[in-house]
């Protein structure tokens, strides 16, 4: 054991945490509004979830149980490294089970299992401004939010219909929060948008490079933008998960060979594993050892 100085609990210094905590409280008080904050350099590059990491670092305590997912999976690089980061700098318990976690940091998915009262979902956000690709100037987008002027977004959705016959946006699908602010739900598939509506969990969003924090309190209306004659629809999958047989969940396509072989499996690995443990089996699940013997 050396006497070398260690990092402060959860890596960030206390003044930074206070600054982020103040931003989080204002974000909760103004649902969907992007609060600017003084994002710090983190020991990982921008684009690796530095916003989500700073939010998690500012809220996490020794009693928390942390789950980190990347596109629904607990075992991909981003999830593994962020989980290891918090084990190292905050010495917190970690889990892959959605129901056991108090804080779930996510990159681009919402777990299939319904979140409960008291859980906190922290999103990693690359581009927090839903209007950014329509209007590059921050001064203008800020004014549009101030005036609740979202006509441009509806024009974009309308042009989608005019060109493609449907709203072609499949991820980062814009939502209106508590009837006021149009918000980017981060690049989650639109499949997950209905889960944000009246969620029992607190949802916090952190964008590190863009230096914004925003939030959706529990039991808050989150409505996906649409038109009366072109209502919002989520993706539907023709077949169930190839491993656990789940229907009505978000599936990833996995290419198996160069002859057109493919399978569709749950993007939420924890959900899929739990179903298989309970005896559910999909068409391509290898027989278990006991069954084979």
Partner 1 sequence: MSIKPQAFSGGFGEPVFESQSMFRLLMDGMARPGTIRTVSSDVGQPEPLGGAAGAIALTLCDHETPVWLSAGLAKSSVGEWIVFHTGAPVTREKAEARFAFVEAGATLASFGLFAAGTQEYPDRSTTLMIEVAALDEGQQLTLTGPGIQDATTTRVRGLPDVFPRLWAENRALFPRGIDVILTAGRTLLCLPRTTKIAVQ
Residues 104-143 that bind partner 1 (CB under 8 A): 118, 142-143
Binding residues for partner 1 restricted to 47-76, rule: CB under 8 A: 58-62
Considering only 76, 197, 217, 285, the residue that binds partner 1 (CB under 8 A) is 217
Does 238 bind partner 1 (CB under 8 A)? Our answer is no
What does the block give as tokens for 53?
């990491």
Are 131 and 73 in contact, with CB atoms under 8 Å apart? Answer: no
Catalytic site residue 241? Answer: yes
Asked if 196 is part of the footprint of partner 1 (rule: CB under 8 A), the reply reads: no
d(CA 109, CA 2): 41
Q: Which range in 149-157, 158-166, 210-218, 282-290 contacts partner 1 by CB under 8 A?
A: 210-218
Tell me which of 152, 161, 178, 281 binds partner 1, using CB under 8 A: 178
Tokens of residue 191, six digits? 């499949």
**Among 1, 4, 5, 147, which residue sits at the site for partner 1 (rule: CB under 8 A)?**
147
In the list 83, 109, 145, 271, the residue contacting partner 1 (rule: CB under 8 A) is: 145
Comparing CB distances to partner 1, the nearer of 59 and 249 is 59
Whether 32 sits among the annotated catalytic residues: the reply is: yes
Running DSSP on this structure, what letter comes out for residue 192? Answer: G
Encode 15-28: b = buried (16+ Cβ within 10 Å), e = exposed. ebbebbeebbeebb
Please, how many CA atoms are within 13 Å of residue 101, restricted to the half-sphere of its CB? 26
Give CA–CA dist 91/84, Å, rounded.
9
- Dist. CA 289–CA 209, nearest whole Å: 47
Residue 54 C-beta: closest distance to partner 1, Å: 14
- Please tell me the count of residues contacting partner 1 according to CB under 8 A: 44
C-beta of residue 59 within 8 angstroms of C-beta of residue 24: yes
Query: 155, 144 in Cβ contact below 8 A?
Result: no
In the set 119, 220, 224, 269, which binds partner 1 (CB under 8 A)? 220
Identify which of residues 118 and 248 has a Cβ nearer to partner 1 in the complex: 118
Contact 35, 76 (CB under 8 A): no
14 binds partner 1 (CB under 8 A): yes
User: Which parts of 258-287 interact with partner 1 (CB under 8 A)?
Assistant: none
> Which of 26, 97, 156, 169 touches partner 1 (CB under 8 A)?
26
Residue 22 in contact with partner 1, rule: CB under 8 A: yes
Catalytic residue among 208, 241, 245, 282: 241
Residue 85 sits in the site that holds partner 1 (CB under 8 A): no
Q: What's the rounded Cα separation, in Å, for the pair 37 and 23?
A: 7
Which range touches partner 1 (CB under 8 A), out of 45-53, 151-159, 174-182, 274-282?
174-182
Burial of 80 (C-beta count, 10 Å sphere; 0-12/13-18/19+): middle
12: left (phi over 0), alpha (psi -120 to 50) or beta: beta
Give one word for 11, left, alpha or beta, with left for phi > 0 and alpha for psi -120 to 50.
left
Residues that are catalytic = 32, 241, 244, 266, 272
Binding site for partner 1 (CB under 8 A): 8-9, 14-15, 17-19, 21-31, 33, 35-36, 58-62, 118, 142-143, 145-147, 178, 180-181, 198, 202, 215-221
């Amino acid at each position: 054991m050396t006497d070398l100085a260690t990092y402060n609990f959860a890596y960030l210094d206390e003044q930074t945490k206070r600054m982020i905590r103040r931003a989080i409280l204002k974000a909760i008080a103004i649902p969907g509004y992007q609060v600017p904050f003084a994002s710090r350099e983190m020991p990982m590059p921008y684009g690796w979830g530095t916003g989500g990491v700073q939010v998690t670092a500012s809220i996490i305590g020794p009693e928390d149980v942390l789950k980190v997912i990347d596109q629904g999976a607990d075992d991909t690089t981003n999830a593994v490294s962020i989980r290891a980061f918090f084990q190292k700098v905050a010495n917190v318990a970690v889990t892959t089970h959605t129901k056991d976690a108090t804080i779930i940091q996510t990159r681009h998915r919402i777990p299939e299992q319904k979140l409960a009262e008291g859980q906190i979902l922290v999103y990693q956000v690359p581009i927090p401004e839903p209007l950014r690709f329509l209007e590059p100037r921050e001064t203008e987008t800020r004014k549009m939010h101030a005036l609740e002027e979202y006509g441009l977004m509806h024009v974009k959705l309308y042009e989608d219909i005019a060109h493609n016959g449907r709203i072609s946006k499949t991820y980062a699908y814009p939502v209106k929060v508590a009837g006021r602010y149009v918000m980017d739900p981060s690049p989650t598939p639109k499949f997950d948008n209905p889960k944000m509506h009246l969620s029992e969990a607190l949802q916090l969003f952190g964008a590190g490079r863009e230096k914004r924090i925003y939030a959706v309190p529990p039991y808050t209306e989150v409505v996906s933008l649409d038109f009366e004659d072109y209502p919002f629809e989520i993706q539907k999958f023709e077949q169930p998960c190839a491993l656990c047989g789940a229907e009505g969940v978000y599936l990833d396509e996995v290419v198996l060979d160069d002859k057109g072989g493919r399978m569709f499996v749950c993007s939420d690995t924890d959900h899929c594993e739990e179903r298989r443990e309970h005896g559910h089996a999909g068409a391509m699940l290898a027989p278990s050892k006991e069954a084979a013997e």
